[in-house]
A and B are shown apart, each in its own frame.
Chain A
Amino acid sequence: MDNRRKYVIPGDVVTTGPFRPEQNVILDGNKIISTTIGVSEIYDDSVKVISLTGKYIPKINDLVIGKVISHTSLSWELDINSCYVGFLPAQDVFGRDFSAHADELTSKLKAGDLVAARIANFDRTRDPLVTIADRDLGKIDSGDLIKISPSKVPRLIGKRGTMIQTIESATEAVITIGQNGWVVVTCENPEGLLKAKKAIEMVNEQAHVANLTDQVKEMLESRGES
């Protein structure tokens, strides 16, 4: 590992000097201090820390996987593994001619159903508004749900999607990754399903290890032979 990246914990001085503090760092005098456990990265004029822990904080346009908790006559509430509940308006599913009298919300989504959704709007004053009106979004009918730490999602995707492509091609599984740390794996071949789940868990546990893609590849191939 080059010395521009290092492991930090809250209170560690990442660097000193005229840098712009970005994610997860604060400026105290000329010291740049990490506010979380993670890996620090120093660029030409800015410093950031990539967090290794913490809950999912919704961001607009994130794809998330949510579980329906309950509904009112006008909307569903989704558990999106965050400190806020996702708010899915019924019009989004039934279309603009939705009528609270005529349409029964449970006919489309029931409590416990999994949905792939996108964060349509979120700011600090309101709960996140989610939408399922898009291609590839909507109710998930089959597959296994795996919960990983939301901070490790970028690692599971890998640089330009290398990690996820490696797993998908080796196991023929289809993997839907929610930015909130919930992952749905579908695979027709039960062995491939098990292998894909094992690989995802491996990434979750060893997210900070360098060269993880190669290790995962090795694991997938070695188990294929036995």
Chain B
Amino acid sequence: MGGRESTMVLLDENGIRCDGRKIDEPRRILIKAGGLKNADGSAYIEFGENKILVGVYGPRDVHPKHMSNTDTGILRVRYHMEPFSVGERKNPAPSRREIEISKVIKEALLPAVILENFPRTAVDVFIEVLQADGGTRCAALSAASVALADAGIPMRDMVAACASGKAADTIILDVNNEEDQAGQADMPIGYMPTLEKITLLQLDGVLNPEEFKKCVETGIHGCEIVYDLQKKALNEKYFKNGGDK
């Protein structure tokens, strides 16, 4: 961010990034639907070195009662990082950053979920980051939409998310931790591919208009890759040799 001085070579002369990827290549992504028995819906994602578990409860009674809405259901999201998810122990109390990410993910999911059919109820999404390596909000958002679908919450489309950014003056797909720290820009994108709508767009860093356009296009391309894997995860759980719920 902001191009901090670093000795690391983010992009070598052959167009290979610091972790061996090409500029338009995402990290290894693994998504699994289900897994938690006590949650109504759940998902697990490995996004490079990120490992995130998501549980969804609901629709269920709202407590405290004053939060309920008689016209529609409400969505609540908690993004939380485990103390052991980062190099130095993280205080488990919700930090400023976690509160912000919870809000951002909630707002990115709201256009997708259809809660009008469940007035006076709440849908709770719990996101636990077990291991963090840059780009957790995108990975968490992708996993959360799989978990919501698994819980049977009606959705207009699934939200796929992927970051793009700029490092060493080049637009790159799926920014990792090193590129996030030492790169020039980081742009997480949440996208509903079937409806062709963006639900999350943040930008940290400076881009000129052409770079911005290219960055959005690159990010959407990443979202489409994630979307295929989300679909594959759900298909595997529900339609392969009987399903295991």
The stretch of A87-95, A171-179, A202-210 that contacts the partner chain: A202-210
Residues in B42-88 with C-beta less than 8 Å from chain A: 58-61, 70
Q: Is the CB of A9 within 8 A of B149?
A: yes
Minimum Cβ distance to chain B for residue A106 (Å): 24
Docked complex Cα distance between A204 and B28 (Å) = 34
Q: Is the CB of B194 within 8 A of A12?
A: yes
**Does residue A7 face the partner (Cβ distance < 8 Å to B)?**
yes
Secondary structure dominating the interface of B:
loop
Minimum Cβ distance to chain B for residue A177 (Å): 19
A151 partner residues in chain B, CB cutoff 8 A: 152
Residues in A21-42 with C-beta less than 8 Å from chain B: 24, 26, 28, 31, 33, 35-37
Q: Is the CB of A55 within 8 A of B157?
A: no
A28 partner residues in chain B, CB cutoff 8 A: 156, 194-195
**Does residue B110 face the partner (Cβ distance < 8 Å to A)?**
no
A36 partner residues in chain B, CB cutoff 8 A: 149, 152, 154-155
**Does residue A54 face the partner (Cβ distance < 8 Å to B)?**
yes
A51 partner residues in chain B, CB cutoff 8 A: 152
A57 partner residues in chain B, CB cutoff 8 A: 117-118
Scan B233-245; emit 1 where CB is below 8 A from any A CB, else 0. Answer: 0110011001111
Q: Which of A11, A31, A53, A55 contacts B150 (CB 8 A)?
A: A53
Minimum Cβ distance to chain A for residue B155 (Å): 4
Docked complex Cα distance between A26 and B194 (Å) = 12
Interface size of B by CB at 8 A reads 38
Q: In this complex, which of A11, A24, A54, A124 has the most chain B Cβ atoms within 10 angstroms of its Cβ?
A: A11
Q: Is the CB of A124 within 8 A of B231?
A: no
Q: Is the CB of B153 within 8 A of A83?
A: no
Q: Which of B59, B114, B119, B150 contacts A35 (CB 8 A)?
A: B114
**Does residue A10 face the partner (Cβ distance < 8 Å to B)?**
yes
| CB-CB under 8 A for A55 and B158, given A33-B194, A37-B234, A83-B118 | no
Q: Is the CB of A125 within 8 A of B70?
A: yes
Docked complex Cα distance between A57 and B73 (Å) = 13
Minimum Cβ distance to chain A for residue B84 (Å): 32
B153 partner residues in chain A, CB cutoff 8 A: 54
Chain B residues engaging chain A, CB cutoff 8 angstroms: 40-41, 58-61, 70, 112, 114, 117-121, 149-158, 192-195, 227, 231, 234-235, 238-239, 242-245
Give 15 pairs: A residue, B residue, CB < 8 Å, sorted on A. A9-B149, A10-B156, A11-B194, A24-B154, A31-B194, A33-B156, A33-B157, A37-B234, A54-B154, A55-B40, A57-B117, A57-B118, A83-B59, A83-B118, A205-B244
Chain A residues engaging chain B, CB cutoff 8 angstroms: 7, 9-13, 24, 26, 28, 31, 33, 35-37, 51-55, 57, 83-85, 124-125, 149, 151, 205-206, 208-209
When A and B form their complex, which 10 residue pairs have the shortest distance between CB atoms, in order from nearest?
A54-B152, A53-B152, A11-B157, A10-B155, A83-B59, A35-B154, A11-B194, A83-B121, A206-B242, A9-B234
